[in-house]
Amino acid sequence: MALQSIDRNANHQPASSGDLSTDAIVRKPVVVAMPDGSESIAIHPMGHLSMSWDHRAFDGAYAGRFLSRVKQILETQDWSAEL
């Protein structure tokens, strides 16, 4: 699975310092790099990950690093081993 985009504009609720939201995972065509260096179109499961936060609670750089780490875990974890 790959995340199509990271959107930092999720619907922030006033009672929390940050909100993380996801979208459905759907199969979409994407450009992939081939081993020979060329590019091709392939179908991959894709999803959206969104986050909003209260800048008074913590700096956006921390939120960005957190969101990047979540993305990395979601894209690289062997989820079949978890089942």
Q: Which residues participate in catalysis according to the annotation?
A: 55, 59
- Cα Rg for the chain, rounded, in angstroms? 16
Q: Please report the sign of the dihedral spanned by the C-alpha atoms of residue 52, residue 55, residue 57, residue 58.
A: positive
Helical (H) or strand (E) element with 66: helix 60-76
